[in-house]
Chain A
Amino acid sequence: MIETDFARTDLWFMLQGASMTLALTFWAVLGGTVMGFVFGVLRAVASSWINALLGAVLDVFRSIPLLIQFILANSFKSIVGLDVSAFTVACVVLAIYTSAYCAEIVRAGVLAVPSTTRRAARSLGLTWWQDMRLIVYPIALRVSLPSWVGLTLGVMKDTSLVLWIGIVELLRASQVIVTRIQEPLLVLMLCGLIYFLMSYPISRFGAYLETRWRDDD
């Protein structure tokens, strides 16, 4: 066996970090998708100045490093004196960040539905709302899914930045162990493996849904 100081408790520590990563991802994607859905639909159907304003605001979150967003949120929390955990701050920041990207995905999905198709639906007597629900939504969903899966995976990787505001997720846990036992290559490779094992099923699931929907057509 390889000579190592890496103990079973270390592995457990890393796995706890991984579960923190997953928890952050879950809340961020949940909040981000809901908000992104609302923003995206708004942007796709609203008049031009609401569209432009909303677009500009969301664009800010995609044009500033996520690390700085965490720092600013944390600092703002102290200034205002909010009594929330770092975890909450992280989830809120990640959710807003995710929603900015998700809004674009949703908007693109809605716009991808051919206007001729929607015209045909309305000509049959469907209301605007029925058109959105029965025609636009299913088509847009299929178009957007690959990008959304990509976004989810991206968010999971971005959770590694919360170490800066003091949360111990997978990467931080790995770093702590490395500091102790000074075997960076082993620990980091294990860390990478865990990240890979977390992201691979999600991307496979996305691919599965894609093929299933393609067969439906």
Chain B
Amino acid sequence: MIEIQDVHKSFGALEVLRGVSMTVNKGEVVSVIGGSGSGKSTLLMCINGLESIQAGRILVDGTDVHGRGTNLNQLRQRIGIVFQQWNAFPHLTVRENVMLAPRKVLGKSVDEADQIACTKLRHVGLGDKLDVYPSKLSGGQQQRMAIARALAMSPAYMLFDEVTSALDPQLVGEVLDTMRILSAEGMTMIVVTHEIAFAREVSHRVAFFKSGRIHEIGPPEQVIGNPREPETAEFLKSVL
């Protein structure tokens, strides 16, 4: 499980996370909603050590992410993350994009990695685009490739950072479908998103972020359907 304990994070003088605490259990899907600049994306990047924290702790299966002796490269094998910008490696085909990390980080043989890649790519619906270069794919397809790429490492946890925000509306659906499948399979996920309906449908819990803090967290029926905090209600009114 992922334990986030009273985390504080600043960029210079600007404090972005002001005491965030949350626990995500195995098999849970937690959605994080909130306005821009509320610190949601930063939180995800702190979880896999891409960003440092000034105070508090983040424990992934008992390992302190920002601890002194922690091997971040190893830790990141357990945490998959998909960003808003899919960051396809342009010089590799779709298949090679997904095969790269299993080969170079997990040391798998070419055949093994190829099998894993093809399986994952078929899983996200890109089975017919294996030997194409990413530049030839749509945004939605590249994003699904990014998901497959993260899944190829068999992570215990998947973090999604507003993965549909940069997509054309008609491409959003295919990515959400992929995420639905993952959650149905029992993947532990933290999903930062603007898609409130999706969050309501798929999550076990929803957290509302504002000004670097979690204002409200609970089952979607409560947080989205019947919010306790006025800020939550105000936010939902502005987006729905």
Direct contact of A and B (CB under 8 A): no
Residues of B at under 8 Å CB distance from A? none
